[in-house]
Amino acid sequence: MNAVLTRWNQLPGKDAETEILPCCGSTAWAASISNRRPLANETELLTASDEVWNSLGESDWLQAFRSHPRIGEPVARAGPAQSASWPAQEQRTAADANEAVKLALAEGNREYERRFHHIFIVCATSKTAPEILAILHNRLHNDASAELREAAAQQRLITQIRLKKWLSP
């Protein structure tokens, strides 16, 4: 069994919730995952994560979205050192983009938030800043319901990546 998972399985409930929370940002998700312990391996953890995420409601999803910095903006996040660096790693290409792309992302973020009332969530890992900008522009054509589902699907992917990072300190 993974050493991180073994240690986490033995933590008191609230400590386990606090430790895993940065992987998703939803307190309901963290509590539900913690309540499913012990989890024997990465596959069980990832499966449980998906099951819990898909069972949550809109307010839990929105809470998770709020735990993210806006795409293209500087990352200033408190929390465990390991997880505090994740958003910067995930958005590295957006942060390194040229000024024109950064400005377009900032304007796109503002338009997105006016339209959907939450920040733009995309699994930015391995995507260039122009790719992220194109995704943002395409998703502005969604209706609110479809966009909420798409944002939730992107959050699920981000959580999966972060869980794998969490298991490999």
Per-residue tokens: 118: 């939450």
The rounded distance, in Å, linking the Cα atoms of 133 and 98 is 12
Dihedral of alpha carbons 149, 59, 36, 43, sign: positive
Q: Which two tokens stand for residue 102?
A: 């950064």
Residue 162: alpha-carbon gap to chain centroid? 8
Catalytic residue among 68, 117, 118, 137: 68
Is 68 labeled as catalytic in the residue annotation? yes
Amino acid at 137: H
Please give the distance of CA 98 from its chain centroid, rounded to a whole number.
24
Is the Cβ–Cβ distance between 70 and 52 less than 8 Å? no
Instruction: Give catalytic residues, as residue numbers.
Output: 68
